[in-house]
Structure 1
Amino acid sequence: MNKPYIELRNRNDFGDTINTYFLFLKYNYKKYTSLYLRYNAISIILLIVASYLLVTGFMGLASRDFRFGMNNDGNQTIYLIVGAIILFLILFITALINYSFSSSYMAEYVNTTGEVESNNVWQNIKRNLGSIILFIFIGIGLYIGYAIVSIIFAFIPLIGMLIQYGLSFLLAAFFGLSFMAIFSENKGLSNALSEGWSFTFSSFGKVILYGLVIGILNLMITFLIISIPGFIIGIYVYFSLESNVDLATNVFASVVFTLGFAMLLLSFIYSQALSQIAYSVLYYNIFEEKNNVFLIKKIEQIGINE
């Protein structure tokens, strides 16, 4: 049975835009996730390696005797440092893949009315690779600036917190909408940034509220994903403590904690990919509100049929 095509290029109100996002996930979740796992297979493996190094290093430090002259080898510290470096690189590369893959997938979905081909998704990414890399570096600069501003506003009670959250949603929307412009219209970096800026501030209230709602809903999805392994790990830790098992030196405990930490990271990374799906839905909605391209095409088609 063919899944129904969800038209994204409609002039929807806020509630319908949220509903469109979840309708898209309902009918395309399996296919999207299957392709997502294929594109991120190497990143997932390396993420598990980084998790192992971090967990091993942390548990090794936790089990050390820090009295003078006792267990002063630096292997655990090396594990932590190497694991942190690998994790940073993997998160950077995965963010690049997430934004690229999700945006390319959505552009292909709209252009082919739901008949997404994996090869076309990859070709779109390769065609825009230069703009993608530059955009990621710009994004890093923006988030560093955001971190500095957040520290400043952290000293202002309540109002500072609201400004922090507002800036966070605003930055995420600007980044997501601009990234989508690269793939939807094959725009260059400067034009994509310009369109993302225009869309973000022309629909300011809608963008902020949309980011808040989607952020909460995706966070709920993330917690749902990690709830089962989290429950299993909690039960394991409880009975291990009851049995006086030394978790810091137990090999099986290291494996369990490594997989648990990796699941936590993978769920938040996947949530990032879903957020870009959501901003892609918002992009097409705002684009149609501003340009009426799809509406005009439908009217013209009615005229031809008559």
Structure 2
Amino acid sequence: MKDNYIPLRVNRDFGGIISVYFDFFKQNIKNFTNVFISYNGIFLIGLLIASYLLVSGFIGLIAQEFDFIGDTDTSGFAQDYYLYLGIGGFIFFIIFICVAILNYSLSSGYMIKYEEHKSNNVNKNEVWQLVKGQFGNIVLFVLLLIPIYLVVLIAAIILAIIPLLGLFAQYILQFFLTAWVGVSFFDMLQNKKSVTDALGEGWRLVTGSFWKSVGVNFIMGLLLGILLLLALIVPGIIIGVYTFHVIENNVDYSQSIVSTIVYTLGTCFILIIAVYGQCLSQFVNGILYYALHEKTYNENARASIEQIGQNH
């Protein structure tokens, strides 16, 4: 066991979960990013292509609106730009679903292997083998989420009718769902359970510590949102300064290669940050899972007591 290993199977309170999350994040950010890049390479290229198509469509339509293209009949151009937007949007939607499933699995698998080896030197091939071995259950889990989210959507619409109180209820429902899905998914991979058994176990764990589960996801969702916004400051400033330059100098951005490159890379970076954020959010529920599981079953505490008895 490495000296800097952070035990995860510990019954932690609200503050302890948040504290250990950031300790885990700082310790594993480099190694997990390597796993992330290794298995998301083809999707990152796909996001770049989707970004190019979306940017080309938006730039073309805006340029047409401000008559940068000229006084000729632009209906043909508009059709092309809408086609770019449609294809780009479709590619992005497909990639987003794929990477959401993949990275939800990778982050869970990484944490499971971290706990198994009690080391932050996690082998990316072992993570992939764990995910691949549970591929059928992962797909079934995602399919079952569709009716669950539909029910929650209907409930949210009903709650929206109630002023103020309904808004708070919507947020509580949203963060409860996030905790339940995240903890259930983690339990499925950790213990190789069936989807329904994992959802049942996740429900018992999360409802047994309802406010802790909701609160952790609310606070960490807020903090991670701020963290991701900070990561977007530098590219945001670059794009903002360049846009100011374009407007001030009346640049024909519809014909500018530089404009296309700047906006494409900026859009792609934003999409990648959003995808990476999914992984970070599942780490939260991984730590929450271990805390709730230990609180319920005391397996690690009993094992430690038995080990002390054997040593004596």
- TM-score interval, smaller chain: over 0.9
Match in the other structure for 1:281 = 287
Cα distance per residue 1:43-64 (max 9 Å; x no partner):
1110111111111111111222
Match in the other structure for 2:258 = 252
Match in the other structure for 1:35 = 35
The TM-score, its normalising length taken from structure 1, stands at 0.95
Match in the other structure for 1:290 = 296
Cα distance per residue 1:17-45 (max 9 Å; x no partner):
11111110111111011111111111111
Match in the other structure for 2:117 = 112
SS in 2 for 1:39: helix
Instruction: Tell whether the 8 Å contact from 1:181 to 1:187 is kept in structure 2 after alignment.
Output: yes
Pair 1:85 & 2:80 matched: no
Cα distance per residue 1:74-93 (max 9 Å; x no partner):
11111111111111100100
Instruction: Tell whether the 8 Å contact from 2:206 to 2:292 is kept in structure 1 after alignment.
Output: no
Q: Structure 1, unaligned stretches of length 5 or more?
A: none
Match in the other structure for 1:51 = 51
Shift in Å at residue 141 of structure 1?
Answer: 3.1
- Alignment partners' CA distance in 1, 2:260 and 2:151: 37
Shift in Å at residue 154 of structure 1?
Answer: 3.0
Shift in Å at residue 3 of structure 1?
Answer: 6.5
Q: Structure 2, unaligned stretches of length 5 or more?
A: none
Match in the other structure for 2:100 = 95
Cα distance per residue 1:231-287 (max 9 Å; x no partner):
111111112222221334422112111111111111111111100011000000000
Shift in Å at residue 152 of structure 1?
Answer: 3.5
Shift in Å at residue 300 of structure 1?
Answer: 0.8
Match in the other structure for 1:13 = 13
CA-atom RMSD, angstroms? 1.8
Percent identity over the alignment? 39
- Alignment partners' CA distance in 2, 1:53 and 1:179: 34
Paired amino acid for 1:132: I
Paired amino acid for 1:108: K
Instruction: Tell whether the 8 Å contact from 2:183 to 2:286 is kept in structure 1 after alignment.
Output: yes
Pair 1:70 & 2:73 matched: yes
Alpha-carbon distance change, 52 to 148 in structure 1, aligned in 2, over 3 angstroms: farther
Instruction: Tell whether the 8 Å contact from 2:239 to 2:263 is kept in structure 1 after alignment.
Output: yes
- Alignment partners' CA distance in 1, 2:162 and 2:4: 49
Alpha-carbon distance change, 257 to 144 in structure 1, aligned in 2, over 3 angstroms: farther
Match in the other structure for 2:218 = 212
